[in-house]
Amino acid sequence: MSDATLTLFAITLPGLEQTLAEEARGHGFNVTDVAPGGVTMAGDWPEVWRANLELHCATRVLVRLGSFMAFHLAQLDKRARKFPWGDVLDPSVPVRVDVATSRKSKIYHAGAATSRIETALTEAAGMQVARDAPVILKIRIEDNRVTISADTSGEPLHKRGHKEAVGKAPLRETLAAAFLLQCGFDGTQPVFDPMCGSGTFVLEAAEMAAGLQAGRARRFAFEQFAGVSAEGVAQMRTDARRRTPNVRFTGSDRDQGVIAMAQANAARAGVSDLVQFGTGNAGDASPPDGPPGIVMINPPYGARIGDKKALYPVYGRLGQVLTERFAGWRVGIVTSEPALAKTTGLPFLPDGPAIAHGGLRVRLYRTDALV
């Protein structure tokens, strides 16, 4: 693969674009634009590898392969046949074509466009096309310009590769990382979750503080591209050095079963020495030993149990405990119900954006340090 500058687009959930941009800059990426749905970066192929390995908030990473103008299907067919697919794609690895069209283009039928590009791939480039292919091509046709990108991630990046056990309504790792960053987490503060479930907030905080690569335990689609240096990718994984934070990350839950899940997940993630999980009721929570930090909570919202009224006392008690016992701590609570958040009585900062999660729209309600 050449060392020419590429255009990367790191996708995230709508509403988290600025958070991802700040994370990417913190990792040394050249962020060139922040747009709805993600962040544009410039870099070479090793930067593509690194983005997949290191970004905790990104859902996936696309790389732009090129573009051309096409005003009708015959022209699309002709130019797709001349496109240098072999520069990036390995003919032995099947691909899938996903086409998005725009009303601003004369080519408006996604199915017909997909068929033409698939035919060009098979007949002119010797590629295999399959619906379950490990490599996905993303085609966008807008203002009659056909832009071709490749999904370099494969499975969504929240699938870290080591969290096998989950409880009810788990928070995705990418979302947990973004919410931690929005609460000001920089790896130097302890994090406590009194409703930790299978440990997502606690584990993400520990991994970020330790400088661990988010994708260190999984594979990516780009590893099946033509010309990728397996040695270079392996070296990039090896070069990542684990730090030893000066603080610990703690979680509790009243369900002993999910505590066992959290402990198993911590062991697979290699952070058992940085975290502590125990059984306890959030209504009886006390701060862990050490300096104040951040309390992160993803409590039940009521959507699944069908009775929000039963949760008002839970949120009320939670707010009382945090107010009385957690002076100096900042709080982040995730919920889809503004009324439940208000019931805590906590001095929340202005609302952040609503984020799509599990068929709901959730928000992060956060405070400054409690007094």
Does a structural domain hold residue 167? no
| Separation between Cα atoms, residue 189 and residue 261, nearest integer Å | 24
User: Are 342 and 272 part of one and the same domain?
Assistant: yes
* Domain enclosing residue 75, as ranges: 6-151
Give residue 169's pLDDT band: very low, low, confident or very high (50, 70, 90).
low
Same-domain status, 118 and 178? no
Residue 125 maps to a domain: yes
Could you tell me if 116 and 41 lie in one domain?
yes
Domain assignment present for residue 159? The answer is no
Neighbouring residues of 342: CB distance < 8 A, sequence distance ≥ 6: none
User: pTM value?
Assistant: 0.94
What value does the mean pLDDT take over residues 11-39? 97
Residue 99 included in any domain: yes
198 and 303 co-located in one domain: yes
Angular region, 130: left φ>0, alpha ψ -120 to 50, beta rest = beta
Is 32 among the domain residues? yes
Least confident of 58-67, 239-248, 277-286, 289-298: 239-248
* pLDDT band at 304; cut points 50, 70, 90: low
Q: Distance (Å, rounded) from C-alpha 167 to C-alpha 162?
A: 15
Residues 55 and 140 in one domain: yes
Say if residue 53's pLDDT is above 70: yes
Looking at the domain assignment, is residue 68 inside a domain?
Answer: yes
Does one domain contain both 252 and 308?
yes
pLDDT digits (tens, 9 = 90+) for 100-146: 888 899 999 999 999 999 999 999 999 999 999 999 999 999 999 99
Residues 129 and 17 in one domain: yes
Tokens 């017909």 belong to residue: 112
Let me know if residue 161 belongs to a domain: no
Average pLDDT, integer, range 350-363: 91
List, in sequence order, every beta strand (DSSP E) within 232-348: 249-253, 275-279, 294-297, 330-335
Contact 99, 80 (CB under 8 A): no
Q: Given 104, 119, 151, which residue is the final one in a domain? A: 151
For the record, the structure tokens of 359 come out as: 């068929």
How many DSSP H helices and E strands does the chain contain?
Answer: 10, 14
Which distant-in-sequence residues (6+ apart) come within 8 Å of 267 by Cβ? Answer: none
pLDDT at 45 over 70: yes
CATH number for 322? 3.40.50.150
CA–CA distance, 342 with 325 (Å, rounded to integer): 19
Mean pLDDT of the 182-193 span:
97
Are 57 and 184 in the same domain?
no
Residue with tokens 């051309």: 68
Residue 226 belongs to some domain of the structure: no
Output the pLDDT for position 308.
79
| Predicted pLDDT of residue 332 | 98
Please indicate, yes or no, whether residues 259 and 135 belong to a single structural domain of this protein: no
Number of domains in the chain: 2
Question: Are 143 and 177 in a shared domain?
Answer: no
Verify that 133 and 193 share a domain, yes or no.
no
C-alpha 362/C-alpha 335 separation (Å) is 5
Residue 188: the pLDDT is 96
123 shares a domain with 269: no
pLDDT of residue 248: 94
